[in-house]
Structure 1
Amino acid sequence: MIDLPKLSKPESGPAPRWFHIAVAGSMVLSSVAAVYGSWRTSQTMAALVKENTRLVMANSTPLLEFGTGNQVGGKAQLSFTVQNVGNGPARVVWFELKSNGKPVPHVIEMVNEVAPELGRKLLISTTTIAPRLISAGKEIQLFGWDRPPESDAAGFAAWNRFDQHRQRKLSVQACYCSVLDACWISNLEGDIPKPVERCETEGRLSPQG
């Protein structure tokens, strides 16, 4: 804050020219001080808004990861999972599961392609991933298939063949958004997601459960 000098008008007679100049100067200094104070206040507020926005984004940003394995809870089971390891819920707009680079409409169809000799209903569990809201810290199992007993030769062999297939020829890609409508495209493999303006569903095929 700028302290302005106190001016005293001469007690009698017209005010000299220097007095008018001093008064005008003090008014200019007062205006400059007010403008500067307003500018500093606006700068401080802008910095606070920016920091608050950053904190809100950091505390509401989802991060999806895709997991696949052949053991669940000590039991031989093929599984595909999608987990939100971020800080906020994820609105999954589309999720593509690809086999040999081609989108799969249903996981069971992929199993049948790998093991067409089965030709029978399989004891497989599936879940739809998109469209869906996945809370922070939540894991969704997209696919689960318990290993058939060795006495079921065809099923046992198909299970092992599909186990090899999912390790070598499986890939995923998804587009999801935060509650603040910030959106990303990702292969869900731990890489940094690519920011996008929005998630376009045209031309995307999400497997159905």
Structure 2
Amino acid sequence: MGTGNKVEMLIAICAVLTSAIAVFIAWDQGRVMRAQQHGAVYPVVQIEGFVSSTAETASMGLRVSNSGVGPALIERVEMLKDGEPVESLEPYVDQFPPGYQQSWASLIGRAIAPGDEIIPLRVDWPLDAVSIMQRDAAALAWSEMDVEICYCSVFDKCWTAIGREMGLSIARAERVKRCERSETDVFEALANYAHTPETNTTAELE
């Protein structure tokens, strides 16, 4: 092989290597850009059960918030007891002391913006109608359940968050391939249910 042929082969090899490096750099830059795009809309759903009292009312309920940087698209919500789905919350509502006002908000299909929160269930009693011990007993019954929420980002990246025993969800959400949308909303199903209709009312939270 002559010197000229060697030079041409060396140039060809260098061209192939240069092309391969350019392709790799373009791929890596695309990967970084995609990661940045996903990171810019990363939702973080947190679940918190609460009890509170004012000079006039005693309250308990559930709060769902988004502490991430992108909207959280809620696809599935389940209440679990011992790891198994609870089909109806009505038996737990039956344990509320009478005289309450029940407020609710649907979650399925909702988009929670960064920094926003939804209260899917809130129960209020006039302070003269219930003792703090009665309210805490009702809250204790609800604390037997976990809340599981499956949600997605606008890029269809999905996670499952669990509120343990109706408490604050502090564990990192688990990544899942997709969320199967719930056919019914367990909180919306309570809209027309009260175990003593004469003394209890329901209202939808905006």
TM score, norm. by length of structure 1: 0.73
| 1:195 positional shift | 1.7
- Do structure 1's residue 103 and structure 2's residue 83 form an aligned pair? no
Match of 1:187 in 2: 162
What do the CA deviations read for 1:162-203 (whole angstroms, capped 9, x no partner)? 13323x31310011111111112221412122222111247x
| 1:143 positional shift | 1.5
Match of 2:14 in 1: 33
Unpaired runs of 5+ residues, structure 1, are 1-17
| 1:205 positional shift | 5.2
- Do structure 1's residue 89 and structure 2's residue 71 form an aligned pair? yes
Match of 1:164 in 2: 140
Structure of greater relative contact order (alpha carbons < 8 Å, 6+ residues apart): 2
- Do structure 1's residue 61 and structure 2's residue 42 form an aligned pair? yes
User: Over alpha carbons, which structure has the higher Rg?
Assistant: 1
| 1:127 positional shift | 0.6
Q: Which amino acid in structure 2 is aligned with residue 126 of structure 1?
A: W
Q: Percent identity?
A: 19
What do the CA deviations read for 1:32-62 (whole angstroms, capped 9, x no partner)? 1111111111121122112112222222221
Partner Cα separation in structure 2 for residue 49 and residue 123 of structure 1? 53
Q: Which amino acid in structure 1 is aligned with residue 86 of structure 2?
A: P
Matched position secondary structure for 2:126: coil
Change (3 A) 1:72 1:133: farther
TM score, norm. by length of structure 2: 0.74
The count of aligned residue pairs is 181
Contact 1:83 1:139 in 2 (8 A): yes
Match of 1:48 in 2: 29
Q: Which amino acid in structure 2 is aligned with residue 149 of structure 1?
A: L
Contact 1:125 1:143 in 2 (8 A): yes
| 1:25 positional shift | 1.7
| 1:96 positional shift | 1.3
Unpaired runs of 5+ residues, structure 2, are 164-168, 189-206
Change (3 A) 1:171 1:86: same
- Over the residues paired in the alignment, what is the CA RMSD in angstroms? 2.8
Change (3 A) 1:205 1:98: farther
Change (3 A) 1:205 1:97: farther
| 1:93 positional shift | 0.7
